[in-house]
Amino acid sequence: MKFFAPLAVASAVFFAAGCAQLTRSGTGKLADHRQIFVEQRLNDNLGIDRALVAELRALGYEAKSGPLTMMPPTAELIVTFDARETWDFRPYLIELTATVRPAKDYHRILASARYFRPGVTKKSSDEMAREVIKSLFPAARVK
């Protein structure tokens, strides 16, 4: 019985914490581009588009967000995203998928990243946006 109690507690902590997963696919050379537009989603309640723009700017890219109809003509890449949130006394993000597309060919995908973090240990949406953007984009090159 002495062995069972610590094992039960350790198992409960392990399963409650959940495991974070960050996956990236695609081989597009994203550092060659400077002008990035983040497509705003109508159902984005957490301001993910603003967090993605802030992270892109921190890496040295020129980034803006808004509806696709407001995309500037100088945009080279479009970042679209899907966010899955849940509610546990407050809304929080458990999954963020970002897809990078060329501005001239919206249906082509250059790269994609997915960050999934279930469980009780929550990360802020800004932290999840940082992880996704860092996996997709290297620091911008000075031209």
Neighbours of 33 (CB within 10 A): 20
pTM over 0.85? The answer is no
Task: State CA 46 to chain mean position distance.
Answer: 12
Topology (CATH level 3) of domain 20-136: Double Stranded RNA Binding Domain (3.30.160)
Q: How far apart are CA 110 and CA 113, in angstroms?
A: 11
User: Residue 133's CB: how many other CB atoms inside 10 A?
Assistant: 25
Helix (H, G, I), strand (E, B) or coil at 37: strand
pLDDT given for residue 11 in this prediction: 46
Q: Which range has the worst mean pLDDT, 47-56, 115-124, 127-136?
A: 115-124
Q: Mean pLDDT across the chain, nearest whole number? A: 82
Q: For 69-91, how does the pLDDT look when each residue is reduced to its tens digit (9 = 90+)?
A: 999 999 999 999 999 887 777 77
Among the listed residues 5, 24, 21, 25, the one whose alpha carbon sits nearest the alpha carbon of residue 13: 5
